[in-house]
Amino acid sequence: MFILTRYPLTFHEFNLHDDLLAGVDAMNYQNATPIQEQAIPKIIEGKDLIACAQTGTGKTAAYLLPLLDKISHAKHGHTTTLILVPTRELATQIDEQVMGFGYYVEASSIAIYGGGKSENWEQQKRALTSGADIIIATPGRLIAHLQMGYVKFDQIKYLVLDEADKMMDMGFSDDIFNIVRQLPKERQTLLFSATMPSKIREFSQQILNNPDEIRLAVSKPAAGIDQQFYMAFDRQKIYILEHIIKTQDVQSMVLFTSQKAAVGGIVKAVNKLGIEARGISSDRTQEEREEIMRAFKNKQFPILVATDVLSRGIDIDSLSHVVNYDIPRAAEDYVHRIGRTARAATKGTAITFISDQDQDRVVKIEKLIERDIEKQTITEGLGLGEAPEFDPKRFAGLGGKIGGRPARGGSGGGGGRDRGPRAEGGDRSPRREGGGGGRDGGRDGGKPRRDAPDPKDPKHLERLAAAKNALAALDAGHAPSVPYQRPPRPEGEERRDRGPRPERAPRPEGESRPPREPRAPRPEGETREHSEPRAPRPDGEARPPREPRPEGEAGEPRADGERRRSRGGRNRKRGPKPEGSGAATAGEAPASPASAE
């Protein structure tokens, strides 16, 4: 009996251009990964493609190599390839790979992203107008260039959407559709994603033409990864982290948090232990982020604290520890994160903190990796009090609700979430949406607010989804190009506590406000009566308010030829009043405009 052993393909078996193969050899690429074996031939054939494979499997090279091969044979003098990515870091990394693979091909490329200096805008403008071979761009910044009118994509032949699911989560779908409308319909479109939710399939049907599909199952975490789950309320996480850093051999650690505001506090806490840590988030400039990334890769400091901006597509190897300070939304993202450690048959540690509102996500993670992980409880031993109990059914539906976070050393929990487990035998009913006592509840403690939205209302759910996408975009440094607009009030609905708006016919366009009707003239010979001269008002005393004129009553008419009494200002140079006009005496105080009318 013979057993056939299948060996991985080498890149020389794909019949690529010799100049491109020279770049592949220089980059020390030898054997193709499964996604590369399946994708490269299909792309060379010119087919549209949907490819789903987890981060770290070589998706970037899977589409760059065949596209560079096409460029090397054609030698275009204009932009032929557009690659859209969700983050600046991924755009920069792909640009570096293009320079490596295409060094001997002499292919030009540029990364288009925001957050840099003003000179970067001019450099990007020159590349877009002169025609670099490959444009790697984030959707928001590319839209800004398109709106200026000098970008022409009428000769684009290849469109690549890398990390498409991440771009959908960040709210870039509208921007992508706007960009696609500027491209020729006759093109090859490639969509690469780490996950394949239903929204990606619906999205692909609108921009791809009869695509082939490659879907590689998400591989299980490497056997060398020691996965550790710790039960902790939010206020307890930082102390458990300090304990882990003190007791474990941390050589290089990346800590992921879903909250940008938490980065600074975590960095300060680690630095107080005498260990250098730096943070990276959208608050930093692009130059600062690149400098921190270079320093971390060069082992200049051991601990990097980052938001989800680093969770996809960033090449960071040889990590001893990965910490999920907050559990990611998608179970696949958990596998992607911890897959950055224990590479090349080494060992590593993946630490995850589980609070009460994240327990339903833990169930999905364990289902995906087909393994139950022990939930450790060490808070009482560290003097931090009780930790939350692991009861996914009880805490189902709390995902994403964030309570208060007391200052370090504070004793109280925030927002009712960190109060610890309920007493044994206590059958506390679940709190209603929008109700509850304390800070989040109504004035009556258990009653929901009158204006609380219906949690099952589709419009309310749509607004929540849009807010989550906007937060994800901010964490990654890319706010969606379309700002938030308040939804219009339904027709006939009254303003709250203000009553209905008065109905008023709109003024026709260009028509000015009609002039007021003139006052009726005084009868002939009648003069305006004047009272005796007033005593001057004491210093600092305000003029008493004038009594309002009864409704419908007109002022006294002036005599023919009579002028208004001089009040200064615009009437000062009109000359003397006619005789009989009742001029004021020398001691009379000047009348104010209000009293003269």
Instruction: Give the DSSP per-residue string, 503-536.
Output: P-PPPPTTPPPPPPPPPPPPPTT------PPPPP
Nearest residue to 21 (alpha-carbon basis) of 1, 2, 40, 47: 40
Q: Looking at this protein, which amino acid is placed at residue 568?
A: G
DSSP characters over 458-483: HHHHHHHHHHHHHHHHHHTT---SS-
Q: What is the pLDDT, as a whole number, of residue 161?
A: 96
pTM: 0.59
The answer to whether 11-215 and 225-400 have equal CATH topology is yes
- Taking the C-alpha atoms of residue 20 and residue 42, their distance in angstroms, rounded to an integer, is 18
Per-residue burial over 470-504, b = 16 or more CB atoms within 10 Å of its CB, e = otherwise: bbbbbbbbbbbbeeeeeeeeeeeeeeeeeeeeeee
**264 phi and psi angles, rounded to 5 deg:** -60, -45
Residue with tokens 């690549």: 160
Pull the structure tokens for residue 192.
């690469």
What CA–CA distances, in Å, run from 384 to 102, 378, 379? 55, 9, 5
DSSP characters over 348-398: EEEEEEE-GGGHHHHHHHHHHHT-PPPEE--TTTTTS-PPPP--TTTTTT-
Residue with tokens 């902790």: 232
Beta strands in 55-187 (DSSP E): 81-84, 109-112, 134-137, 158-161
Radius of gyration (Cα) for the chain, nearest Å?
35
Mean pLDDT per 10-residue interval, the chain, length 597 residues: 60 90 89 92 94 83 94 80 91 91 88 79 88 92 92 92 88 92 94 85 90 84 88 93 92 90 91 92 81 90 84 70 90 82 75 91 90 93 92 66 40 40 40 40 43 73 78 62 62 61 72 77 68 68 72 60 56 52 45 42
Q: What is the pLDDT, as a whole number, of residue 350?
A: 94
Per-residue burial over 140-175, b = 16 or more CB atoms within 10 Å of its CB, e = otherwise: bbbbebbeeeebebeebbbbbbbbbbbbbbbbbbeb
- Taking the C-alpha atoms of residue 408 and residue 379, their distance in angstroms, rounded to an integer, is 15
Pull the structure tokens for residue 13.
């078996």
Angle, CA 241 vertex, CA 239 and CA 243 arms, to 5°: 70
Q: What is the pLDDT, as a whole number, of residue 290?
A: 83
- Taking the C-alpha atoms of residue 187 and residue 196, their distance in angstroms, rounded to an integer, is 23
- How do the domains of the chain map onto residue ranges? 11-215, 225-400
Eight-state DSSP code of residue 442: -
Q: What is the pLDDT, as a whole number, of residue 312?
A: 63
**What topology is assigned to 225-400 in CATH?**
Rossmann fold (3.40.50)
Is 63 strand, coil or helix? helix
Q: What is the pLDDT, as a whole number, of residue 83?
A: 96
Eight-state DSSP code of residue 401: -
Q: What is the pLDDT, as a whole number, of residue 442?
A: 40
Q: Which CATH architecture has domain 11-215?
A: 3-Layer(aba) Sandwich (3.40)
Determine the straight-line distance between the first and last CA of the chain, rounded to whole angstroms.
116
- Taking the C-alpha atoms of residue 470 and residue 171, their distance in angstroms, rounded to an integer, is 7
